[in-house]
Every structure is written in structure tokens, then in C-alpha cells.
Amino acid sequence: MSNRYADRSHVVKLIFIVVGVLFVGRLAMLQLFSSKYRDLAKQQSLRPVTQYPARGFIYDRHGELLVHNEAVYDLMVIPRMVKGLDTNYFCESLGITRDDFDERMRKARKYSTYSASIFMKQISKEEYARFENKMYRFTGFYISQRTLRIYDRPIAAQVLGYVGEVDKADIERDSYYTQGDYIGKSGLEKSYEEILRGVKGKKIMQVDVHNRQVGPYQGGAYDTLPEEGMNLYTTLDADLQQYAEELMGNKRGCVVALEPSTGELLAMVSAPCYDPNLLVGRIRGENYKKLNSDLAKPMLNRALMGQYPPGSIFKVAQSMVALDLGVISPQSGFVCDKSLVGCHNHPSARSVQEAIKMSCNPYFYQVYRRVIQQGKYKSIYKDSQYGLTVWREYMLRFGFGQKLDIDLPKSGMSTGNIPDTAYYNRWYGKERWAFSTIYSNSIGQGEVTVVPIQMANLAAIVANRGYYITPHMVRFYGPDSLRNEEYYTRHETGIDHKYFDIAAAGMYDVVHVAGGTGRRARVDGLDVCGKTGTAENYGNDHSVFIAFAPKDDPKIALAVYVENAQGGGGTWAAPIAGLLIERYLNGEVKRKDVEKMYKEINPCQKLPLTRRVKKKK
Amino acid sequence: MYQERLKIDWWTVAIWAILTVFGVLNIYSATYSGDLSSLFSLKSFGGKQLLWLAIATVAAILVLFAEPRFFSNGAYPIYAVVLLLLVATLFLAVTVNGGKSWIEIGGFRFQPSEFAKFATALALSKYMSAIDVEWKQMRTKLVALAIMGIPAGLVLLQHDAGSALVFAAFVLPLFREGLSGAILVVGLVAVVLFVLALLVNKYILIGALVLIALFYLFVWLNKRTAKNWWRTIGLLLLCSAFIFSVDILYKQLDDHQRERIEVLLGKNDDLQGSGYNVHQSKIAIGSGGFFGKGYLKGTITKADFVPEQHTDFIFCTVGEEWGWLGSSLLVALYVWLLVRLINMAERQRSTFSRFYGYSVASILFMHLFVNVGMVLGLVPVIGIPLPFFSYGGSSLLAFTILLFVFIRLDATKNQLY
């Protein structure tokens, strides 16, 4: 019997071998042909801990610290690691409700159950100290240290910008970012993001199933140290900025002040202002909503994003173009004929200098007509087309009608409008418009609009007698004092500087000679040159003033724009410009009463103006 | 009576030695926590297992010096003692991991069920080698079933379904002695139908079976005699009845057993709950790659992600630290041992020795299949140890004795017992 079934031993051996082969094949499937398990293994036993670099500081032109960092703590969670949590005790320690806890956990799980996400953001040092020693009881949670921006003075909010969490688009655009990272959202924080942010470091920690850190992975061989962000050394003058913001209190509008010889921006104010510290930390969300829905649009940087009719300040540029074209001479005189265009009462101007001083509208009507209709063509339509093209070329060289290459975010920045022939052809049809159609441009009304920074730049061009350097905010950055080379090139208007001497003389007269429109800008002992503007629009007129000082070797050029002021450029913008110049050049303002008046006064009581938003304590 | 010289099969002893020593090393690694506590420290699992290995070695030597007649004559007494122990366990057991299979004698714990396999193998071999036993007789079949069934039932009563399942291994030696091969086919078909019934709509499944039956009748066999018709229809009805009873059978299982089956079939992906072990085990093994991470360098292992890693899931450590190469070699080593045991069994002169050899190979095979299959996610989670490898004194000792008794029988294979 024993050997009758001996062959069956082969069946048994075959079963053994088949199972062995099956196992080896399955092992190959798991170990050789699938990276899924390898990745999962890394994910769960190695925890990459991001080392956030300190964001670069921001200084003003005198080395005063404007922005620095303070440590806060993010409570991180890896949902699948959370085990045996005493939820009530945990909520109590953190001071949150059970519902809040569930909601936060739900969000974290939705993101990923395997990787870490932020459970609670920006816990202050004090709060952290309260539950630090309880952390060991909260398996699956750990602390990640972050820094918050602290703005040392409550100034220049729109210029400095703010830092916020990255959104989806940021992550897609730049692989450097991961969810929960911070990024500059506006202002310098945005435009210098890559310089300020530094380089993240990474520590790879080995953790066990209880989320205890067992030690650095491979002795830290794969760890990288974070590289600190570089500091920004800006051109801002913190004192002047603060003073300008105070003067713009209760008003809407903006101030741009710069150093003409270098293009360095000294102050840039957009009123109403707000405290940049409002957009920091956990109060950010709430305040952001409030600021964003404010009708006065405090988050808007009017100096770059607003475009306004320039009003009479445009006459300075008009006269330079006309003189360079030779269609008028410095001694050209035109009768103040109010039938052409309205004007205030003043004697007729006998020269360009006088015309600027008195800001005579009919005079510039004539000037602009000679620029537009130069008589090159018989048809006034063709002639106007030619004239407009030539004129536009000049205006572009003044920096109008385009975004200046300033080192603040380009998005949202306005170009202003210097209409071209296509623009009018679209409106009126080809060769169906002439000077008579577009004459409002002569006095800075009509289709022409400019951006406040371009106005200040115009003042700088006159101050420099014919060229400008692109206005900018940052002198240099980092430990090696790196510079932006493009801010060392002159942009020439191509107009002879002798004509700019005439403009400067006219602007001097505006402030200093009887009959000048901007006499309230006068500062004892200083040669202030300025030009008023009163821009008509749907509401009350805007009050504009551009100025530079001193007349020879100017140190400051600026533009002040007050929206919907009841009164012209001479009434509101000029005195504010005068105070700013006095403060910057003399270091202090002697006319305390004037200063006080303009700080407090509201030029348009009827409009609902937002007060400066106070930081919530 | 002439005394045959001992001819010990040293290859088998060598494989045993490699497996046990490699096992101790892996247990040490699986429970190694970073501080270099000595392998010889009794505080570590590795150290404890090493001590057990020493005890097992002494037992192995004693077995080799024992008279083979002791095992053949002592088969029934040993069987009886073990049955008594199993019954005693039901009353005296301490609960460990939900099972009630341990008894404690003076601070010394052991699992009688580990020795039950050995005792049953002896008893069944003894019975099958009796001169008046003919497999064709129904009485033989019933007695054999009882010898296997009684200890299996007692183990099942201890809530140790895994160890009870191992008794099914005796099908292979019985098959060798004349049990119809149909039982292997029926078993395989039953498993396949069971799995399919859980996965696929039952009517679709039966429809498919009908198609297969028609194919068989008309195309393959092409002999539509009445006998074939009745056979096919009968089989079909039987299969259908089985398919519909799957749900009833399934409900008889414990919750955790159902969950484990669902996890295996991919119907339950609760990686935190019942699927956790297998998922973690696959991660550990999968992350090993070709060469593995190196001894003591497994990150999943070090971090305690796999529960029971030093016992039932010890194979993970091999997979993670020794990679595909190491774990395949280990599988190959086991298969080599099994095939060798069958070859050795075939060279026995006595039925007792041959049957016992088949029993040893089959029991080891069953453990290997279920344990490694579970770790690789091919078999539902059933907690039985990997022979010679998993941490645990009783199992190491029991498997060693089981194997060495056969080595001893083989050493004087020309004698008849």
C-alpha cells in the first residue's frame, strides 16, 4: 500500500513550490515594482520639519527699523497620528470650543490625514507657555515656530504692504511654497518677496508611531539650514512719511515725495491710511474684511493706482513741449480770452513764465493748438493727427501714459492716459476730430489722466531741468548691499534744459510773486517752486500741487493730491506741500498753527470719511 | 536485534539552525529601540528568544538521543496528556491578546496548543501505521478525523482559530496515504467560491457557473450522456447551494474575522482600524526595496508602526531590512526545508515515519502559508507564528521537538517501528 500513492509526493512538493513562487512574486510586486509603499514609509516614519528662515528686515533711509519679526507658534497636527486624545482637556488648554475643535480637525483631515497641517495659527509666546508642558499628552500634535511681521511705526502701510498665507495660485506658480507658508501680498513685501523670504531649511526627523521624535534621520545628513532673508534698505524717510500721513489726516488723496537727483522716494502716502499692524497675526482676517469693504478704499495705494485728471500742473509739461517744438518762444504772449476757455481774473500773460505763474487757461489753449495743429498738412484733421502723435511722443518721455518701472508691485498700478490717434479715431472716427475736439487736454482736463507718482516725477523733471531717474523705494539690500542697476539711469526728455529754467522760474513765481496761484506753499527762507492744479470732475474739484525746493540744486520734489476738496490747488495741496518741504529741508516746522490746522481740517465735511483705523488692543 | 548507526540528516539541522539564529537576530532588530542593549540581555526580546533557543537546542539533543520506539509507543500516551492539558487550559487559561490558550505554571507560561500539533502528528502516524488499518474503510476515516478533530475543537474553544486551522494540514499526509485528491480540489473550489460570493453578485456568479457547465458538457467533454448531465447538474446545484450559504457561514464568524476578510478583499479600507496591521506591514516590506535598508536600519520597524512585529509579523522586519533578496532567500530556505522533508519521508521504511514526516512538512507549510500570506496581504489576518522565527518560547520549543523527532526517526530509517 505504501508505494501505491508514492507519486503523490510530487503533488505535495509542487504545492509547496507554487506557494513559495507565489510569495516571491508577491514580494517583488511590493518591493520592486511599486514605489507606493516606499513613499508611504517615508511619509509616516520621517517627518520633514521645515525650518522657516527669518524674513528680512526693512529699514528707512536713515537706518531706522521699520519692519522686524517676532516669534509666534503654529500648532500642527497629523490627523492619523492623533490617538487617545482627551478632547475636553485639549480644548480647555487651548481655549477653544468642542465645535471649533471638530471643525479644525475636519479641515486638517480634508487636507491630508498623513501630512501635517496647521491646527491653530500664530499662538503668541504667552499662550504657548501655558500649554507647552502639556504637549506630551497631545499625540499627533506638535509645535512649529514661525515669525510675524511687526511694523515699528504705524506708517506707510500701503508701501510696505502685508504678508499673508499663500493661496493656490502661489503654490502652483512657485514650487518653493507649500500650504500655510507666508508670502508678501502687496507693497514692498510683495515686490521684494524673493529677497525678503530667504531660503527654507529642512530637518528630517524620524518619528515613531506615537509621534515621538526618535532622532534626526541618518544623523541629519539630509538636513539643510534655513538661510535668512535679506534686509531691505529703503529710501523712505520715516519722519517725513509720518508727518505727511498726519497732514493727510481726515482727507482722501495722496502725497509722493522724492529726491530728484536720485529718484529715491522719500514718502508715499495714500490717505486714508491705516496701521500696517492691523494686517498681522490672527486679527488679520477680520481687519482685512473691514479695510477691504471700506468705501474710502484705504488698501488702495492711490499714489500708484489712482489716475486723475492732472489739471493745471499739466501746463508745465505742455509749455516745455511747445517750446522745444518751437511753436512758441519763451516770450510768446496770448490774451486771456475767456471765450475760448474759462479762466479766473488776471492780467494777460506776456511770457511762458508769466503764464505758468498765473496758470492762464486761454494761454495754454493757444499753446496746445499750436502743438496739435502745426500746419504741416492742409487738412486740419490730418494736421491734428500728426500733432497729437508728436505731442504724445513727448509726453511719454515725461513718464506719462505708462507704468513707471518702480520697485513696487506692477499689478494694479495705473498707466494714466495720454490719448493717441487710435484712441480718438475709435471715439470719433478717422479724420473726424481735430484740435477743437480735444482742446481740454491743454489744461490737463479731458482725456488726459496721470498717476500721482507721475506728477511727482514731473516736479522732479523740472527740478532736474529735463531728466528723471525712475522713482524707487529701495536703495540696496542684503549684507552685500546689492543695488538695482536700473535705478541709476537717466531718462532724458530730450528738451533743452534752458526751457526748464523758464519753467522753474515760473514755478518759483507761483509761490513767491504777487498774483501767483500757490502762495500758501511759501516757506520763509526757502526757494520753493510749485504749480497748482484744480482738476474738475464729477464731485468737488481735486486739489493738486506739485513742487520742488530749493530752486537751485533741488533736494525734494513732490506732488500732493487732495481729492474732492472744496477749493483749488492753492487752497489745500499747496500749503501741505509747503509744510512737507519745510519739515524735510529745515528738519522742523515753525508754523505750528498752520500745521495743526491742516492736520485736523477736513476739506469735504460732507463726504463720509473714514477715520484712521486704530489698532485693536 | 541489530543496532543501526545514527545517520543524522545534517542539512536539515543546518537549515533549522540558520532559521532560528536568523529569527533571533530579526526579533532583536524588530524590538531594537536605538540604544545598543546587548543581544544577550534577557531584557530584550532577542535575548529572551536566545535563551529559548538554548532550551530548544537541549531538547533537540535529548530527542536525538532518545530511542525512536519511545515516540511510536508513546504516541497515544503523549496524545492523551496533551488532550488533558488542552482541556485544563480551558479552565486555567490566562487571557493573552484575547486568546485563552496560555496556562501558567509557577510564573512560566506556555501554550499547550503548540504541542497539540506534535502530539496529533504522532497519534495519527501511529494509527495510520497499524497493520489492520485500511484507508478504504469508513471506520478508518472516522477515527482519523476524530484524532485530528478533537484537539482542533479544543483549540477552537480557546478562541485560537488560527491554530485550529493548522490541523487542516493533516489532509496532505492523508492524501499521500490514499485520501482522494478530490478533497484538495473541493477545498480549492470552496475557497474560490467563498471569495467570489463575497465579491460578486450571487446570480451573476451562478450564471457564470452555468456557462462553464455548458461549455464543459458541449465543447470540452462533448459527451452528453445522461450520466454526465446528472453529474453536471448535481455539481451545479451543490455549488449554488454553497454560494447561498456563504452569507450564513459568514455571519457565523466573529466581527474581527469578518473585518479581516473584508480588508483582504479590499471591501474595507479602514487603514486605521482592522486594516492597519496589514497596511503597515505592506509599507514596511514595500519600503525595503531590492537590498533592504540594512540590519537594524528599518525605519518602520524602529518606529513600532507594525504591532506584533516580533511575533506574528516578524516577516516584515526581514522584508524591510533585508529587502527582496533577503526575504526571497528566506522563503526559498523554507521551501527547501519542506521539499527536503518530503524527500526524507519518502525514504522511510515504516509508514509511521513516513506519515510523521509528511505531517511535520505539512504543519510547517500551513504555518508558512498563513503567516507569510497574511503579512503579504494574501490571506486574512490569522495570528499564527512563523515556525522557528517568530518570538515565542512555546512555539520555538514545540516546532523544534516536532522537527527533531523526525530527524531522529530518519536517522535510523531502516528500522521498523
Using CB atoms, pick whichever of B175, B338, B376 lies closest to residue A16. B338
Are residues A510 and A361 located together in one domain of the fold?
yes
Q: Specify the pairing of strand A253-259 against strand A556-562.
A: antiparallel
Q: How far is B66 from chain A (nearest CA, A)?
A: 26
Are residues A242 and A112 located together in one domain of the fold?
no
Q: Which residue has the higher pLDDT, A579 or A204?
A: A579
Closest alpha carbon to B353 in B164, B156, B198, B129: B129
Q: How far is B354 from chain A (nearest CA, A)?
A: 9
Are residues B87 and B22 located together in one domain of the fold?
yes
Are residues A144 and A243 located together in one domain of the fold?
no
Confidence of residue B91 (pLDDT cuts 50, 70, 90): confident
Residue from B271, B276, B335 whose CB has the most chain A CBs within 10 Å, to mutate? B335
Q: How far is CA A341 from CA A135, A323, A346, A540, B281, in A?
A: 77, 22, 14, 20, 89
Contact at CB, A38 and B289, closer than 8 angstroms: yes
Q: How far is CA B292 from CA A397, B39, B190, B288, B388, in A?
A: 69, 22, 38, 4, 22
Prediction pTM value: 0.60
In a domain? residue A210: no
Are residues B59 and B87 located together in one domain of the fold?
yes
Q: What is the pLDDT of residue A612?
A: 42
**Mean pLDDT, rounded, for A110-123:** 75
Chain B residues with CB-CB distance to A41 below 8 A: 283-284, 286-287, 299-300
Are residues B27 and B80 located together in one domain of the fold?
yes
Residue from B31, B125, B191, B283 whose CB has the most chain A CBs within 10 Å, to mutate? B283
In a domain? residue B28: yes
Return the SS3 of B373. Answer: helix
In a domain? residue B261: no
**Mean pLDDT, rounded, for B78-96:** 86
Q: Specify the pairing of strand A65-77 against strand A117-123.
A: antiparallel
Chain B residues with CB-CB distance to A214 below 8 A: 34, 302-303
What span, in angstroms and rounded, lies between the C-alpha atoms of B29 and B46? 8
Return the SS3 of A594. Answer: helix
pLDDT 10s digits, B119-128: 999 999 999 9
B176 touches B358 (CB < 8 A): yes
Chain A residues with CB-CB distance to B305 below 8 A: 44-45, 208-209
In a domain? residue A8: no
Domain-terminating residue out of B252, B284, B309: B252
How many domains does chain B divide into? Answer: 2
Using CB atoms, pick whichever of B175, B184, B331 lies closest to residue A23. B331
Res B172 pLDDT > 90: yes
Are residues A334 and A441 located together in one domain of the fold?
yes
Confidence of residue B302 (pLDDT cuts 50, 70, 90): low
Q: What is the pLDDT of residue B354?
A: 93
Are residues A138 and A247 located together in one domain of the fold?
no
Q: Tell me whether B325 touches chain A (CB under 8 Å).
A: no
Q: How far is A49 from chain B (nearest CA, A)?
A: 17
Q: Tell me whether A25 touches chain B (CB under 8 Å).
A: no
DSSP letters, A317-343, are HHHHHHHHHTSS-TT--B---TTTS--
In a domain? residue A50: no
b/e for A50-87, b at 16 or more Cβ within 10 A?
A: bbbbbbbbbbbbeeeebbbeeebbbbbbbbbbbeebee
CATH code, domain carrying A462:
3.40.710.10
Q: Which range of residues forms the domain containing residue A399?
A: 238-569+589-600
Confidence of residue B300 (pLDDT cuts 50, 70, 90): low
Res A1 pLDDT > 50: no
Using CB atoms, pick whichever of A5, A20, A27 lies closest to residue B335. A20
Confidence of residue A261 (pLDDT cuts 50, 70, 90): very high
* Helix H or strand E segment including B99: strand B99-105
Are residues B165 and B17 located together in one domain of the fold?
yes
Confidence of residue A134 (pLDDT cuts 50, 70, 90): confident
User: Could you tell me which chain B residue has the CA closest to the CA of A214?
Assistant: B303
How many domains does chain A divide into? Answer: 2
Contact at CB, A44 and B332, closer than 8 angstroms: no
In a domain? residue B27: yes
Using CB atoms, pick whichever of B184, B323, B369 lies closest to residue A31. B323
Q: Which residue has the higher pLDDT, A38 or A253?
A: A253
Q: Is the dihedral of CA A581, A582, A587, A588 positive or negative?
A: negative
Res A210 pLDDT > 60: no
Contact at CB, A23 and B323, closer than 8 angstroms: no
pLDDT, mean over chain A: 87
In a domain? residue B50: yes
Q: What is the pLDDT of residue A243?
A: 94
Using CB atoms, pick whichever of A2, A4, A30 lies closest to residue B286. A30
Are residues B280 and B401 located together in one domain of the fold?
yes
Prediction ipTM score = 0.92
Q: What is the pLDDT of residue A473?
A: 94
pLDDT 10s digits, A153-171: 999 999 999 998 888 888 8
Q: Tell me whether A22 touches chain B (CB under 8 Å).
A: yes
Are residues B152 and B201 located together in one domain of the fold?
no
Are residues B171 and B213 located together in one domain of the fold?
no
Closest alpha carbon to B348 in B166, B125, B116, B169: B125
CATH code, domain carrying A80:
3.90.1310.10
Contact at CB, A31 and B181, closer than 8 angstroms: no
Q: Specify the pairing of strand A182-184 against strand A65-77.
A: unpaired
Contact at CB, A34 and B303, closer than 8 angstroms: no
Q: How far is A82 from chain B (nearest CA, A)?
A: 11
Q: Tell me whether B333 touches chain A (CB under 8 Å).
A: no
Q: Tell me whether B179 touches chain A (CB under 8 Å).
A: no
Are residues A143 and A242 located together in one domain of the fold?
no
Res A611 pLDDT > 70: no
Q: What is the pLDDT of residue A509?
A: 94
Domain-terminating residue out of A119, A148, A177: A148
B70 touches B401 (CB < 8 A): no
pLDDT 10s digits, A511-542: 999 888 888 888 988 999 999 998 877 777 88
B162 touches B383 (CB < 8 A): yes
Res B106 pLDDT > 80: no
Closest alpha carbon to A611 in A169, A130, A290: A290
Contact at CB, A37 and B361, closer than 8 angstroms: no
Cell of A465: 531741468
Confidence of residue B312 (pLDDT cuts 50, 70, 90): confident
In a domain? residue A372: yes
Res A610 pLDDT > 60: no
Q: Tell me whether A45 touches chain B (CB under 8 Å).
A: yes
Q: Tell me whether A208 touches chain B (CB under 8 Å).
A: yes
In a domain? residue B386: yes
Are residues A409 and A508 located together in one domain of the fold?
yes
In a domain? residue A609: no
pLDDT 10s digits, A402-432: 999 999 998 889 999 999 999 999 999 888 9
Residue numbers of B between 238 and 257 with CB closer than 8 Å to A: none
In a domain? residue B258: no
Question: Residue A307 — φ and ψ, nearest 5°?
Answer: -130, 130
Q: Tell me whether B299 touches chain A (CB under 8 Å).
A: yes
Return the SS3 of B44. Answer: coil
pLDDT 10s digits, B252-269: 887 777 777 777 777 766
Q: How far is A57 from chain B (nearest CA, A)?
A: 41
Are residues B226 and B167 located together in one domain of the fold?
no
Using CB atoms, pick whichever of B282, B327, B351 lies closest to residue A37. B282
A258 touches A475 (CB < 8 A): no
Q: What percent of chain B has pLDDT over 90?
A: 38
What span, in angstroms and rounded, lies between the C-alpha atoms of B369 and B283? 20
Nearest-Å Rg of the Cα atoms of chain A is 33
Are residues B106 and B226 located together in one domain of the fold?
no
Q: How far is A33 from chain B (nearest CA, A)?
A: 9
Res A123 pLDDT > 70: yes
pLDDT 10s digits, A341-364: 888 888 899 999 999 999 999 999
Q: Which range of residues forms the domain containing residue B339?
A: 10-177+272-411
Q: What is the pLDDT of residue A614?
A: 44
Res B236 pLDDT > 70: yes
In a domain? residue A488: yes
Domain-terminating residue out of B252, B281, B310: B252
Candidate from A551-555, B184-188, B251-255 with smallest mean pLDDT: B251-255
Using the structure block, give the residue that is written with the C-alpha cell 486679527. Answer: A283
In a domain? residue B94: yes
Crossing angle of the two packed helices A421-428 and A380-397, in degrees rounded to 10 = 140
Q: What is the pLDDT of residue A558?
A: 95
Are residues B158 and B30 located together in one domain of the fold?
yes
Residue from B36, B135, B176 whose CB has the most chain A CBs within 10 Å, to mutate? B176
Res A501 pLDDT > 90: yes
What span, in angstroms and rounded, lies between the C-alpha atoms of B212 and B252? 30
Are residues B191 and B173 located together in one domain of the fold?
no
In a domain? residue A342: yes
In a domain? residue B220: yes
Crossing angle of the two packed helices A314-325 and A497-512, in degrees rounded to 10 = 150
Q: What is the pLDDT of residue B1?
A: 45
Are residues B169 and B193 located together in one domain of the fold?
no
pLDDT 10s digits, A273-301: 999 988 887 788 888 898 888 888 888 89
In a domain? residue A165: no
Q: Which residue has the higher pLDDT, A561 or A108?
A: A561
**Mean pLDDT, rounded, for A182-193:** 92
Contact at CB, A215 and B34, closer than 8 angstroms: yes
Using CB atoms, pick whichever of A31, A32, A209 lies closest to residue B304. A209
Contact at CB, B286 and A40, closer than 8 angstroms: yes
